[in-house]
Structure 1
Amino acid sequence: MAGGAAALLAAGVMVAVSAQAAAGCRVTYSVASQWPGGFTGNVAVTNLGDPINGWSLVWTFPNGQAVTQAWNAAVTSSGSQVTARNVSYNAAIATNATVSFGFNGSWTGSNTAPTSFALNGTVCTGSVGGTASPTVSPSASVSPSVSPTVSPTTSPQPGNAMAAVAAMQPGWNLGNSLDAVGADETAWGNPRVTAALLDNVRAQGFNSIRIPVTWSNHHGSAPNYTIDAAWLNRVKEVVDWAIADGFYVMINIHHDSWQWINTMPSDRTNVLARYNALWTQIAAAFRGHSSRLVFESVNEPQFTGASDEAQSISLLNELNTSFRSIVRASGGGNASRLLVIPTLHTSADAARVDPALNWFTATGDANLIATVHYYGYWPFSVNVAGGTRFDATVQSDLTGAFDRVYNAFVARRIPVIIGEYGLLGFDRHTGTIEQGEKLKFFEYFGYYARNRQITTMLWDNGQHLGRTSFAWADAELIGQIKSSWTTRSGTASSDQVYVSRTAAITSKSLTLNLNGLSFQGLRQGTTDLANGADYTVSGSTLTLTAAAVTRLVGSRAYGVNTNIQARFSAGVPWRISIITYDTPILAGATGTTGAFAVPAQFRGDQLATMEARYADGSNAGPHNWTSFKEFDVTFAPNYTANTITLKPEFFAEVNEGQRVTLTFHFWSGAQLTYYVTKSGGNVTGTLT
């Protein structure tokens, strides 16, 4: 035993010593992301003393920083002193256990990290009665960490699935790793999953993690379909890391849904036997695991060649019924384990929600969770058919989906998890949708999910949080997402103000979306703009004066001259880019259907969308039910190369020899006409 203790100490693990009312703690403070005037902070508190139930952490900001929102803790401030108290589900901290919370904050001048923390009145020195310094990682480039040996502090109560699913909010997907189709988890380009990655995700404020798993390449043949021992052990390893971090964890059968489960209409016997064999083995492997582990029957169920919707629903019901029976019969923790049941296609459409509700009602199992996915109103989500803005139609699609699952399930005490969310255009890159419009979508998404008591899990296949850098690719996006977990943020009709380089400078106006908040002012860097001299507000109209615009554009170089922030009584600030532009200039060109680019001098402007029509006014190219083509699939701007590429996918559906009129729409409001004609594999582009 002495040797074991020495080994633990050598590994840096704190060993609790029996003592009466022993007290001690360690705090890891980090800045996950930072932007002018704002930042996201993460705090991990490890209790090194006797178990406590109810905690309060106090620190003082050295530079007058302030917390504006928080998650997983109730935070109050008095001057520069901050007090973070537990919330209902994380009051207990066992010896050597860790709780984490996060916050958005504001800063001016500098953002130096606090160096002293006190937990329930005890200064956190990193030991019990010791003098070690607290661990502080103020740099956004330093990854927060949580000890992988943390034990869960709470467990879902049997029969109270609503409370457990509420505690799972917010959630994150470990996408394109264990679900990758290929030899192993690196087949789709992501590195091997590490404990450090999961530690970091937990420190970001996520309470649950969905770990999609594809089994098709990792099991033997009929009739046993034996899962490869190495693969099952790897899945268990990652699950165990996540549970040790205090996550709720969801695992499933993932891309198998479209690889072989979808053939069930024509191969029912074999598909059902294979499905049952896999879940029998998975259930047995995890029957002794924490109740924080939940099972999802299948990802995005779909059936190729089904005679109609009714047959697809019947087949899904059969799979879900078999899944539930196998798991429950396996005993151990599986007898009451939370099980996640998808609708057909994991869709929130009424035609899929209502049959799922009938299945839940007939089953009568109190430990079930309904799940759907949400990737937004399709034209907006991929930027096609003119869907460039987060408008009333996009918002209505979102509220309709959330209202349907709330009325069907949540109102009946059946919890709902949106197991994946994002925008479909993210499959290419996050710039498919204009930044401000994208941020408005996620602000409203988080708010309305909270309003409808729905737990959400961000789909991340590696394009959001770096798997080894632990840095967010888009600090504004994650800042907006985190803020939406607890409050609303103000936005505006645009995040861009375009100022012509050659015209006389005039005042510029935007419409504020207050979202129930109050407008607090404008700031450039650390300098507040003056109400009256620099801007005025009338109702919801914010107007920058001509004098302020003149100062903000400076020498009037093309592009973003500066950024200012609209600040509100809560939430994250709204960035407004002041942009100098002139109408873009296009030029004629020749090329091929496989490689054609329109020469473009963008002159500070940015492309929003493109229309394509034949001379008779009919629509040209793919999706010919609309004149507006799909951004980044049929066309794409390249601001570095000064070109607009027309892709082979566009010309594949353009009529031979017919001239196509293209209309390029820019965010400044400018519209330019261009003509292309396809002849065999050649393309000619002209201005007239």
Structure 2
Amino acid sequence: MTGRLRSLIATLLLAVGVLTPTAAQAAPLAAGSAVAAMQPGWNLGNTFDATGADETSWGNPRVTPELLAGIRAQGFRSIRIPVTWSQHLGPAPDYTIDPVALARLAEVVGWALDDGLYVMVNVHHDSWQWINRMPADHDAVLAEYTAIWTQVATAFRDASPRLLFESVNEPQFVTEKAALLAELNTAFHTVVRGSGGRNATRLLVMPTMHTNAGQAYLDELASTFTALGDPNLIATVHYYGYWPFSVNIAGGYRFDAAARQDLLDTFQRVHDTFVAKGIPVIIGEYGLLGFDRSTGTIEQGEKLKFFEFFGHQARISRVTTMLWDNGQHFDRTALTWRDPELYEQMRSSWRTRSGTASSDVVFTAATGPITAKTVTLNLNGTSFSGLRLGRTTLRRGVDYSLAGDQLTLSTGLLRRLLGDRAYGVRSTLSVRFSHGVPWRLDILSYDTATLSGATGTVDAFTLPAAFHGDRLATMTAVYADGSYAGPQNWTAYKEYDATFHPDYAAGTIGLTPAFFAEVTDGAPVTLTFIFWSGATVTYHVTRTGTTVTGTAD
């Protein structure tokens, strides 16, 4: 970096308030105390990490002080600002960062710091754009990487100690994985520490390979920390849940024992490897991978159970967490949550546990006699305190009964709530517990869905579906010989949204081009649609060239 460019960047940083002429800011907290103070955290995703021309190129609005203040008002204490640098770099050998881009990042960092937030800045999509070429192009990649951190470290050398640097997001190499990541993290450490100012003790965040919490990856990072011998280092991993549940595939549409155990094991490993030895941990991204397509990929109640349990395990494991939000959770213009129920569950989990239940919907057939229905409560260390309909407290022994964790809604109550038994949610109850948020319980009237024949193409095939109030949980696809059809042919259960998707308003179920791309031409496929009521409906599709024919049983 030339002296003139360094002077220009310093001037810009002073102008936006990241630096002060006197640099009179509070002394840094110890790493463990600082990371604890960062809980909970939030990601400014799909903004500065966007690979287009600027921060709006992936559809999010420009960041404003109001957005950051809004995030602070929601209870968040830290933000992670992912940054993709490649489109802002000049040519080799200097790889000069565009001063305007750096000044804009500094402006946003300054707003966040002024609002009292901790801030974590990283190298983001560069990891798969060019850093992953390190095995074949070692020296060039290392030169570009160190050039970025040299400039960033110099620009922010006197910024508040509440600014953290994260070496790289989700590193990925085909070969020499452990050695190359150790080299990258060590180079990052050397550059930042050597830049002086507050960077001599600034908190530095380093990931495992793929930011994965597998034990081998954790051990590799622990070895790097031991070699560096620096008390101001923080480990980071990401967690998007047990994969079958996280994307709704392979029958993993419930937050079941396997999904719970995966979460438990992850927190146990990071705690035992790092936290128990005095090294703080940040889960720099968490959520569910299905959110990348739609936050409805995972059924609402199952989703809430995941977030409640995740928050609890983070709290007792003393791990700081940062919600991945690429714009699908917090509306950055209206400054409101797109799913307030999910937010309330997350916010509660930062402080305490909440009760949940086996389901958030009580399905009752629209025809035939109405009978009592039972749901299992997951008390999670709480105690049951009552059942309400709006502001009315329902009567135990008349409207419902409770035996241990079994909550039974009486026939009389259901008869009143179902009314004319028209399809859909007829009423909503609120299950109250001694602490935490209430559990919503929808009373829903349904009949088994009916499907109709259709023709279309592999690029656009939808089948008419009269859902009759029911909701689709998953779909299986098999050939006549019982072998599995479609993508992920190791399981009969296909991936929700990626291969099929219901449209309740339009009354259709769509099958995607990705599904037909891996269906054998001319071979009939039997689809079984599994609904949350427990009903199953079969359907048959045959691909002939680009034409698809569907028939109902």
TM-score between the two structures when normalised by the length of structure 2? 0.95
- 2:28 corresponding residue in structure 1: 156
Match of residue 281, structure 1, among 135, 145, 151:
151
Picking from 610, 628, 632, the partner of 2:497 is: 632
Distance in 1 separating the partners of 2:298 and 2:123: 31
Is residue 419 from structure 1 mapped to residue 284 from structure 2 by the alignment?
Answer: yes
**Are residues 451 and 153 of structure 1, via their aligned partners in 2, closer, same or farther at CA, if it must alter by over 3 Å?**
farther
Amino acid at match of 2:495: E
Residues in 2 aligned to 1:421 and 1:258: alpha-carbon distance in whole angstroms: 20
Q: Partner letter of residue 596 of structure 1?
A: F
Query: What are the within-5 Å matches in structure 2 for residues 295-306 of structure 1?
Result: 295-303=165-173, 305-306=174-175
- Could you tell me how far 1:598 is from its partner in structure 2? 1.3
Structure 2 CA distance, aligned partners of 1:635 and 1:154?
Answer: 54
User: How far apart, CA to CA, are the structure 2 residues paired with 1:606 and 1:338?
Assistant: 48
- Hey, what does 1:324 align to over in structure 2? 189
- Give the aligned partner of residue 234 of structure 1: 104
Please give the alpha-carbon distance, in whole angstroms, between the structure 1 residues aligned to 2:59 and 2:93. Answer: 33
Report how far residue 687 of structure 1 moved. 2.0
Matches within 5 A, 1:397-412: 397-412=262-277
The structural deviation recorded for 1:156 is 3.5
Q: Please name the residue that 2:136 is paired with.
A: 266
Question: Larger helix proportion, structure 1 or 2?
Answer: 2
Q: Are the counterparts in 2 of residues 522 and 528 from structure 1 also a CA contact under 8 Å?
A: yes
How far is the alpha carbon of 1:608 from its aligned partner? Answer: 0.3
1:219 alignment partner in structure 2: 89
* Cα offsets for 1:153-201 (capped at 9, x unmatched): 97532xx211110010000000001110010001100011001100110
Matched, 1:460 2:325: yes
Q: How does 1:100-139 map to 2 (within 5 A)?
A: none
Overall identity of the aligned pairs, in %:
64
For 2:419, the aligned partner's letter is G
Cα distance in 2, alignment partners of residues 216 and 326 from structure 1:
19
Which residue is 1:81 aligned to?
none
What amino acid is the match of 1:537?
A: L
Distance 1:430 1:481 in 2: 15
1:674 is displaced (CA, Å) by 0.7
Give the deviation of 1:152 after TM superposition: 11
| Cα shift readout 1:217-237 (whole Å, capped 9, x = no counterpart) | 001000000100100100100
Alignment correspondent of 1:614: 479
- Please list, as runs of the form range in 1=range in 2, the aligned pairs for 1:330-345 lying within 5 A after superposition: 330-345=195-210
Q: Give the one of 350, 359, 362 matched to 1:497.
A: 362
Aligned pair 1:370/2:235, yes or no? Answer: yes
Q: Which residue of 1 aligns with 2:467?
A: 602
Q: 2:164 aligns to what?
A: 294
Rounded Cα–Cα distance in structure 2 between residues aligned with 1:410 and 1:421: 18
Residue type of the alignment partner of 2:551: T
Taking the aligned partners of 1:569 and 1:192, their CA distance within structure 2 comes to: 42
Task: Give per-residue Cα distances to partners, 1:574-623, cap 9 Å, x unaligned.
Answer: 00000000011111111111111111100000000000000000100000
The structural deviation recorded for 1:460 is 0.4
Matching residue within 329, 337, 359 for 1:472: 337
| In 2: Cα distance, 1:589 partner to 1:562 partner | 35
Q: Is the 8 A contact 1:580 1:604 kept in 2?
A: yes
Q: Whole-Å Cα distance in 1 between the matches of residues 177 and 476 of structure 2?
A: 38
TM-score, structure 1 normalization: 0.76
Q: Which residue of 2 aligns with 1:485?
A: 350
2:305 alignment counterpart: 440
CA 443–267 in structure 1, closer or farther in 2 if over 3 Å, else same: same
Task: Check the 8 A contact 1:658/1:677 in 2, yes or no.
Answer: yes
Which residue does 1:209 correspond to in 2?
A: 79
SS of equivalent residue, structure 2 residue 88? coil
Please give the secondary structure, in 2, of the residue aligned with 1:456: strand
The CA distance in 2 between the partners of 1:155 and 1:383, in whole Å, is 46
Letter in 1 for 2:146: N
1:319 Cα shift? 0.6
Q: Distance in 2 between matches of 1:339 and 1:212?
A: 15
The answer to whether the aligner puts 1:647 opposite 2:512 as a matched pair is yes
1:181 equivalent in alignment to 2:51? yes
Amino acid at match of 2:35: V
Q: Could you tell me which amino acid in structure 2 is paired with residue 631 of structure 1?
A: Y
Match of 2:38 among 144, 168, 172: 168
1:343 aligned partner, one-letter code: T
Cα distance in structure 2, aligned partners of 1:282 and 1:548? 64
Partner in structure 1 of residue 12 of structure 2: none
Equivalent of 1:575 in 409, 415, 440 = 440
Q: Deviations over 1:111-139 (max 9, x none)?
A: xxxxxxxxxxxxxxxxxxxxxxxxxxxxx
Match of 1:671 in 2: 536
Q: Is the 8 A contact 2:26 2:161 kept in 1?
A: no
Compute the displacement of 1:281 (Å). 0.3
Q: Contact 2:238–2:286 at 8 Å: present in 1 too?
A: yes
Q: Does 1:562 align with 2:393?
A: no
Please say if residues 153 and 246 of structure 1, whose CA atoms lie closer than 8 Å, have aligned partners that are also in contact. Answer: no
> How far apart, in 2, do the equivalents of 1:581 and 1:154 lie?
61
SS in 2 for 1:630: coil
Counterpart-to-counterpart distance in 2, 1:511 and 1:407? 33
Structure 2 residue 144 is the aligned partner of structure 1 residue 246: no
Q: Is the 8 A contact 2:522 2:544 kept in 1?
A: yes
- Contiguous gaps of at least 5 residues in structure 2: 1-22
The Cα shift of 1:686 comes to 1.1
- Report the aligned-residue RMSD: 1.1
Query: 1:382 and 1:359 mapped to 2: Cα distance?
Result: 33
Instruction: In structure 1, give the amino acid aligned to 2:364.
Output: V
In the TM superposition, what is the alpha-carbon distance from 1:292 to its structure 2 partner? 0.4
Q: State how far apart, in whole Å, the 2-side matches of 1:595 and 1:206 are.
A: 43
Question: Do the aligned partners of 2:25 and 2:160 also contact (CA within 8 Å) in 1?
Answer: no
Of 360, 376, 382, 1:517 maps to: 382
**In structure 1, C-alpha distance between the alignment counterparts of 2:24 and 2:69, rounded to whole Å:** 13
Distance, in Å, in 2 between the alignment partners of 1:153 and 1:653 is 59
Task: Deviation per CA, 1:609-638: give whole Å up to 9, x if none.
Answer: 000000000100000000000000100000
Distance in 2 between residues matched to 1:462 and 1:589, nearest whole Å: 36
Could you say which residue in structure 1 is the equivalent of 2:400?
Answer: 535
1:504 maps to a residue whose letter is: P
Q: Secondary structure at the match of 1:217?
A: helix
Contact 1:152 1:246 in 2 (8 A): no
